[in-house]
Amino acid sequence: MKNKISPSILSADFGKLNQEIKEVEKYADSLHIDVMDGHFVSNISYGSVVVKDIKTKLPMDCHLMTEEPIKYAKDFSKHVNRIFFHAELFRNKNELLKAIKKIKSLKVKVGLAINPDKPVSLILSVMKEIDAVLIMSVYAGFGGQKFMPEVLKKVEILREKGFKKEIVIDGGINEKTIKLAKNSGANVFVVGSSIFGEKDRKKAIQKLNEALK
Ligand code: DX5
Ligand code: ZN
């Protein structure tokens, strides 16, 4: 499976967002769009009115850190390729399946995300119905946090149980932690501060790709 670098625009300068995206576009594989509602997480980031103005040829992943993913998914589905929402918002398999179906009906790919302290079992129970999984390696809420290696067990479990689609790892990824994530079975690496916190974005992405070899 192809390894992919997915810059998270949360760490970009929003005053010149499209320029920031241009700087990573040639070297990245997709863009990661973090949406925060001030409820599911305390931060507020941006909504679909900002995402609609993003100019890029890269496929976009929308990571909804919102209490009501279904309420917002429609607006984002017009602009992005894949929508991730948090599995722990749903109490049982049936509710989760209903939400997956709803998002699928918007003609986008659908993925489930999960915070570090939540078990992967809920995702396992519906893994045949989804296109991808996003394992949080920091607590959802803001960029620049320290990577939590213990979450990699979840990636290993998903692969052991036969999940063959993309597994995204999100949070605290740098040249060192990207190797650990890759070895556990993840293939999409979300990177915020280790790309947009660096002056030379091309070099930053090259270093990450180098670490994956
Ligand atoms: C955290 C977000 C991440 C974050 C990653 O809530 O989901 O996508 O932007 O940023 P870094 O790479 O700085 O941890
Ligand atoms: Zn994210």
Averaged pLDDT in 10-residue chunks for the chain of 213 residues: 97 97 97 97 96 97 97 97 98 95 98 98 96 98 96 98 98 98 98 98 98 96
Q: Which two tokens stand for residue 36?
A: 């925060």
Please tell me if the CB atom of residue 111 comes closer than 6 angstroms to any atom of ligand 1. Answer: no
Q: Closest residue (by CA) to atom 12 of ligand 1?
A: 192
Indicate if 13 belongs to the active site. Answer: no
pLDDT computed for residue 158 by the predictor: 98
pLDDT computed for residue 84 by the predictor: 98
Identity of residue 107? K
Decide: helix, strand or coil at residue 45. Answer: coil
Closest ligand 1 atom, CA of 36? 6
Closest ligand 1 atom, CA of 195? 12
pLDDT computed for residue 153 by the predictor: 98
pLDDT computed for residue 100 by the predictor: 98
Please tell me if the CB atom of residue 36 comes closer than 6 angstroms to any atom of ligand 1. Answer: no
pLDDT tens profile 154-184: 999 999 999 999 999 999 999 999 999 999 9
Please tell me if the CB atom of residue 37 comes closer than 6 angstroms to any atom of ligand 1. Answer: no
Using the CB atoms, write b or e for 88-102: b if 16+ within 10 Å: bbbeeeeebeebbee
For the whole model, what pTM was predicted?
0.98
Euclidean distance between CA atoms 75 and 195, whole angstroms: 28
Euclidean distance between CA atoms 40 and 32, whole angstroms: 18
pLDDT computed for residue 184 by the predictor: 98
pLDDT computed for residue 147 by the predictor: 98
pLDDT computed for residue 179 by the predictor: 98
Indicate if 170 belongs to the active site. Answer: yes
Please tell me if the CB atom of residue 143 comes closer than 6 angstroms to any atom of ligand 1. Answer: yes
Neighbours of 50 (CB within 10 A): 15
pLDDT computed for residue 71 by the predictor: 94
